[in-house]
């Protein structure tokens, strides 16, 4: 009989320990909120070149600029932002950024390195994509 009591007690302790461990894990996954989007972005129906641009953006830019170019906490700025409206950063800025990289000047994320495999055609699609998102979000 006594052994059964001990087994039951051990089980309770194991469950409690497991619960505490899980709780701790919950907390650490909250800390990983780094990478969260920095602005809310409305995404319109994308077609044609904008759709192609979205795929290229997701593969080459979103690791820093976030999904839907909404920025990524700790990694890079949102491009759906007044700073990047066409009057302030014309399309040429996107070609230069992708091919030569960018020195940190507007933000504190650090420099943007050149992105490998970017040519005129790829950047053109990405620009169409980003400008489409910007227009949908009142940035033009
Ligand atoms: C390794 C992270 C990283 C990647 C990958 C990245 N960027 Fe950037 N980008 C940045 C950061 C950081 C800045 C902001 C620099 C500043 O002004 O402080 C930036 C700035 C820019 C700018 C503004 C340039 C200017 O003249 O101020 C454009 C446009 C841009 N990125 C486009 C892109 C595109 C398009 C891609 C994908 C082909 C891309 N970025 C990939 C980190 C990144």
Residue range 70-110, pLDDT digits in tens:
999 999 999 999 999 999 999 999 999 999 999 999 999 99
- Tell which one of 70, 76, 79, 132 to mutate to probe ligand 1, the residue whose CB is within 8 A of the most ligand atoms: 76
Higher per-residue confidence, 13 vs 65: 65
Which residue minimizes the CA distance to atom 2 of ligand 1? 64
Residue 19 has pLDDT above 50, yes or no: yes
Q: How far apart (Å, rounded) are the C-alpha atoms in residues 20 and 26?
A: 10
Residue 40 has pLDDT above 90, yes or no: yes
Phi, psi of 117 (to 5 degrees): 80, 10
Q: How far apart (Å, rounded) are the C-alpha atoms in residues 21 and 77?
A: 35
Please indicate whether residue 64, judged by its CB atom, sits closer than 6 Å to ligand 1: yes
Higher per-residue confidence, 17 vs 72: 72
Ramachandran assignment for 87, one of left (phi > 0), alpha (psi -120 to 50 degrees), beta (any other): alpha
């Amino acid at each position: 009989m006594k052994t059964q009591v001990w087994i039951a007690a051990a089980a309770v302790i194991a469950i409690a320990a497991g619960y505490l461990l899980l709780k701790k894990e919950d907390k650490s996954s909250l800390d990983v909120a780094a990478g969260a989007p920095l602005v809310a972005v409305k995404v319109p129906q994308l077609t044609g070149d904008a759709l192609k641009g979205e795929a290229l953006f997701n593969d080459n830019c979103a690791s820093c600029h976030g999904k839907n170019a909404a920025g990524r906490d700790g990694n890079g700025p949102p491009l759906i932002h007044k700073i990047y409206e066409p009057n302030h950063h014309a399309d040429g800025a996107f070609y230069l950024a992708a091919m030569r990289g960018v020195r940190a000047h507007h933000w504190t994320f650090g420099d943007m390195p050149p992105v490998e495999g970017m040519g005129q055609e790829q950047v053109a699609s990405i620009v169409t994509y980003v400008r489409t998102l910007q227009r949908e979000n009142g940035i033009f």
